[in-house]
Amino acid sequence: MQREAVPAATALDDVRAHVERRLRGFLAERRASLAQLDPGAATLVGELERLVEAGGKRIRPVFCVWGYRAAGGEGGEPILRAAGALELFHLFALVHDDVMDESDTRRGVPSTHRRFAAEAPPGVPSPERFGRSVAVLVGDLAAVLADELLLGSGFPPERLLPALRRYGRMREEVAAGQLLDLRGEAGAGEGRARAVAALKTGAYTVEGPLHIGAILAGGTPELLERLSAYARPLGEAFQLRDDVIDLGPNAAPGVEPRTVNRLISEAVAALEGARLAPEARAALVSLAELLWLPER
C-alpha cells in the first residue's frame, strides 16, 4: 500500500499550510472590500481572521485535497481555494454552534458571541443579545464567503456544478444533524449517537470534503462509492472520539475507545483494492490512524 510514502505529518501539515495561505489572502481581500462599504463592517471579516489565527486542524480542506488527488487531480490554485471554502463553511458552523451551546471559548480564545458581548457599544440594552446578533452575522458571512470562494475557485463549469450540488447536500446534512443534537438524541444509546455523529460531523468532516474534491477532479461514481465506504466509519470515529475524550464514562453507552478503533479499522479496510492514486491511498490511511485511541 506504500503507506510509508505519505506520513501523517505530510498528509496533514503540508496541505494545511498551503490552504491557510490562500485562505488568509482571500480574507484580507474581503476585509478590504467591506471596509470600502464602511470601516466598521470590516470587523465581521476581522473576526473570521481571528478565528483562523486561533488554530484548527483544517481537516476538511485536507480531505478535500486528498479526495482530489485520489481521483487523479494534480494540485494547483483551484483546489486550494475550493478546500479553503470548506474551512469557511466550518467556521460558519462553529460560530453558530457556539451561540446554540452558549460556549465561552473556541480554540482557546473567546467565542465570537462572548467577544462581541464584551465589546458592546455603550448604551446597548443587552450586551449578550448584541454579542449573539453579531455572531449570527459573522457566521452568515462565513457561509457567504465560502460560497464565493468555491464559485471563484477556477474549475470549469462541468466540474464545478456537480461539486456545488454535493456541497449543498453536505450543508443540508449538517443542519439535520445539528437539530438531532439539539434534541438530545446523541445521548440515546450507541446506535442513535452514531446516527447523529454521521450527520452532524461525519457528513462534512470526511465524506463531503472527499466527495467534493474527487468530483472536482472528475472522479467516477465507483470512486465516490469507495471513498464513502472509507469516510462514513471514519466520520463517525471523529465525533465519537471527541465524546470519549470529552465525556469519558459519561459518553453514550457503548461509546468507548474500542468503538472508535473499530471504525478506524473499518475505514482503512475499505481502501484495500481501491482504484485510486497510491499516494492518496497512503495519505488517507495515515489520516485515519491519527485518530487511534489506546484501549485500557
Is residue 3 predicted with pLDDT exceeding 50? no
Q: Cell digits for 165?
A: 450540488
User: What DSSP letter does each residue of 159-224 carry, written as one string?
Assistant: HHHHHHHHHHHHHHHHHHHHHHHHTTGGGS-HHHHHHHHIIIIIIIIIIHHHHHHHHHTT--HHHH
**Predicted confidence band at 51 (pLDDT cuts at 50, 70, 90)?**
very high
Tens of pLDDT, residues 84-126: 999 999 999 999 999 999 999 999 999 999 999 999 999 999 9
Tens digit of pLDDT for each residue in 246-261? Answer: 777 766 677 788 989 9
CA distances from 44 to 26, 32, 58, 202, 283 (A): 14, 11, 21, 28, 35
The β-bridge partners of 109 are 106
CA–CA dist 225, 50 (Å, integer): 37
List the alpha helices (DSSP H) in the chain: 8-9, 15-37, 42-53, 59-70, 77-101, 112-118, 127-151, 157-182, 190-197, 208-216, 221-247, 257-269, 278-289
CB 101 within 8 A of CB 120: no
Whole-angstrom distance, CA of residue 127 vs CA of residue 27: 27
Share of the chain above pLDDT 90, in %: 71
Burial grade of 84 (CB within 10 A; 0-12, 13-18, 19 or more) = buried
Q: What is the band of 189 on the pLDDT scale with cuts at 50, 70, 90?
A: low
d(CA 67, CA 52): 23
Kindly tell me if the per-residue pLDDT of 150 is higher than 50. yes
Sign of CA dihedral 295, 253, 95, 214: positive
Q: What are the structural domains of the chain? A: 3-289 (1.10.600.10)
d(CA 192, CA 231): 18
Query: How far from the centroid of its chain's Cα atoms is residue 210's Cα?
Result: 11
